[in-house]
Amino acid sequence: MLTKTKIREPFGDRVLLVTIYVLLGALTLTVLYPLLYILSSSLSSPNAVVSGQIWLYPVEFSLKAYKSIFQSSQLMRGYYNSIVYTVIGTFINVAFTVLMAFPLSQRAMAGRKYIMILMMITMFFSGGLIPTYLLVKNLHLLDTRWALWLPSAFSVFQVIIARTFFMSSIPMELQEASQIDGCRDTRYLWSIVLPLSKPILAVMTLMYAVGHWNAYFDALIYLRSEALFPLQYVLRNMLILNAADPEMLANTAQKLRDQGFEQVLKYALIVVACIPVLIMYPFVQKHFVKGVMIGSLKG
Amino acid sequence: MQQTWTRVRRSWELYLLVLLPVLYLLIFQYIPMFGVIIAFKDFNIIKGILGSPWVGFKHFTDLFQSPNFPLLIKNTLLISLYSLLAGFPIPILLALALNEIRTGFFKRSVQMITYAPHFISTVVMVSIIILMLSPHVGVVDRLFSFLGWSDTNFMGEPKLFKSIYVWSGVWQEMGYASIIYIAALSGVDPSLYEAARMDGASRLKKILYIDLPSLLPIAVTMLILSLGSVMGVGFEKIYLMQNSLNVSTSEVISTYVYKVGLLGANFSFSSAVGLFNSIINLVLLVSVNAIARRVSENSLW
C-alpha cells in the first residue's frame, strides 16, 4: 500500500503561516466592512440610520432611497453624460495609445527615440493648471464636451505598457512573414497585432474607462452648463456640498426628511455611483493583474 | 544620411500613424509648457500671453514673502511624507504575505476585495469618509461614543486631517499598489526557493533573504517615482476634504494654485506657484535618482 509521505512544516513556519492568515483576514475585513456598511445603510429606513441601529446588516429594509434617485432628472442626466464621456473618451484614449505605441515599438522606424523622449518629458514636467486652462480657453473648448476628451488624449504610462507588450509578446517572425506576403505597416497593425493584443487592450480600456467615469476635476474647471455635468460632479454637489436635488425629496414627507432621509439618500447615491464599475470589475480583474505584470516585468 | 532617408521612406505609414498623437503632445503638452512664461509676466487677458508685460521674478518674491508660504510648504511636505511613510511599506508587506499563501479561495478573495477600493472615485471616497466620520450618525463616531470617548467632529479637527487623508488613502490603494510587487515575486526563480529549502531555511528566512532582495529593484523605482512627486500631493481628494475648520492644516500648494488662480483669476501669480512646485519636484526626482544609483545601482535612468 502506498502512503503519501509529506514532510511536515517546522513549528516556526506554521506559526508564521497562521499569523499571516490571521493578519490577511483582518485586513480584508477592514476593507470589506465599510463597503458592507454603506450598502446596508442604503437599504435601511431613515429612522434606523439616524438612531444608529445599523452595524452590519440592513434594519427595516427599504428601497425608498433608490426609488427617489431614479426620479431625479439632475442625477439621471449626470449618469447619461458620464456614459457619453466614458464611451467616447475611452475610445479616443485607446486609439491614441495604440497609434503612439505601435510605431514606437517598430525597430524599423528611424527617430522613434526622439518621439519617445518627447513623450517622456511630459511625465516629469508639465505646464500646470493655469497654462493648460488658458490653452483650452483659447481653443474655444471651454464648456464643451471636447474639454473633457482632448486635453488628456492618452497616458504616457499606458503607451509604455502597450509598447512593451507589442515588442515582447508578438513574435518578430510574424512581421517578417507578413512583410514577405506584402503586408504594409497599417495592415500589419490592424490584422495581426491588434487581434493578438486583446488582453492588453482590455486592460487599457478598463483603466481609461474607470478614469473617465471617476473624473470630476476636469468638469470642475472646464464646464459651466448644468446640462453637461458628469455624474461625479453632480454627486459632489449632492454629497459633499449637501445640495440635494429637490426632485429626489419631492415625494418625501417633511417628517421623514427630518428623520434623516437625506442621510440614507447619500448612502444610496454612493452605491448607485459605484454600480457600473463594480459590474465590470470581476470580469476584468484577472486581466488587469496580468496587464500590470506585463508592464512591470518586461519594462 | 542617405540610409536614414531610405528607412524613413520605407516606413512612412508608421509616421502617418504617429502623427496624431505627436500633434496632441505638441499642442496639449508643449504649448502649456511654454505657457508657463506667464509666471514671469503680468498676464492680461486682452493682450494675451505674448503681449503681456514682463515683470521678472515679481510673482515669485510675492509668493516667498506671503504669510501663507511657510504654512503651504509645511502642509504639502508633511502630508506627502506621511503618505509615503504609511503608503510605501504596506503594499510590500501585503505582497509578501500573499506570496506565502497557496492559490485558492482565500487568496483570491483577499486580492479581489483589497483591490476593489482603488476603483472608487475620489468624490465617492470623500463622501464615504465624511459619512462614516460624521458626528452622532457616523459609524466611527458611534463606535467611539460606545467605547466611552466623547463625540468628535473628525472633519473639523485640524489635527486629524492628515491622518484621515493618509489612512483613507492606504485603505483605498494598498491592495492595488501591491500588484506590482506580487508580479515581481512571481518572477523569482523557483530554484532559489528549492535551494533554500535544502539548506533548511525557514519561511521567515526565505522571505528575508530571497523575497525581499528580489523586491528591492522595483521598490527603489517606486520610491524614486513617489519622492519625485512629493510636492504634488493630489489636488482632488484634499480639495474635497477641505472645509473652513480644517483649512489651516489642509491647504496645500495645489489647492492654493486653484483657489488663487482660477477662482481668484490671478493667473500669473498662480502659475508662478505651480512652476515653483514643478521645479522642486524635478530637482527632487533627479537627486533621489542620483542617490539611488550610487547606493543601490537601481535607478530610473
Q: What is the pLDDT of residues A194-216, one digit of tens each?
A: 998 888 888 888 889 989 999 99
Contact B270, B257 (CB under 8 A): yes
Task: For chain B, say whether A110 makes contact (Cβ under 8 Å).
Answer: yes
- Mean pLDDT, residues A95-110: 91
* Partner B, chain A 22-61, Cβ-Cβ below 8 Å: 23-25, 27-28, 30-32, 34-35, 37-38, 49-50, 52, 54-55
Do residues A40 and A58 make contact, with C-beta atoms less than 8 angstroms apart? yes
User: Inter-axis angle of helices B212-227 and B89-99, to 10 degrees?
Assistant: 150
Q: Quick: pLDDT tens for A140-180.
A: 999 999 999 999 899 988 898 889 888 888 888 888 888 88
Q: What is the pTM of this model?
A: 0.88
- Tell me, yes or no, if A194 comes closer than 8 A to chain B by beta carbon: no
pLDDT band at B28, cuts 50/70/90?
very high
Instruction: Choose among A129, A152, A274: nearest Cβ to B261.
Output: A129
The three grid cell numbers given for residue B215, joined into one nine-digit string: 523586491
**For residues A234-263, average pLDDT:** 76
Q: What does the pLDDT average to over B51-66?
A: 89
Q: Please check the confidence at residue A297 and state whether its pLDDT lies above 60.
A: no
Any B CB within 8 A of A142 CB? no
Alpha-helical regions (H) of B68-189:
69-87, 89-99, 105-115, 122-133, 139-146, 158-186
Confidence of residue A255 (pLDDT cuts 50, 70, 90): low
Average of per-residue pLDDT values in chain B: 87
A108 interface with B at CB cutoff 8 Å: yes
Report which listed range, A27-36, A50-59, B142-151, is most confident. A27-36
The predicted structure's pLDDT at residue A168: 83
Residue A298: per-residue pLDDT: 42
Q: Most confidently modeled of A56-65, A89-98, B179-188, B248-257?
A: A89-98
Q: Does domain A62-297 bear CATH number 1.20.1440.230?
A: no
From A9-13, A189-193, B257-261, the region with the lowest mean pLDDT: A9-13
Judge whether residue A21 has pLDDT over 90. Answer: yes
Backbone angles phi, psi at A298, to 5 degrees: -105, 15
Q: What's the confidence (pLDDT) of residue A127? A: 81
**Are B278 and A128 an interchain contact pair (Cβ–Cβ within 8 Å)?**
yes
In the numeric block, the cell 539611488 is attached to B292
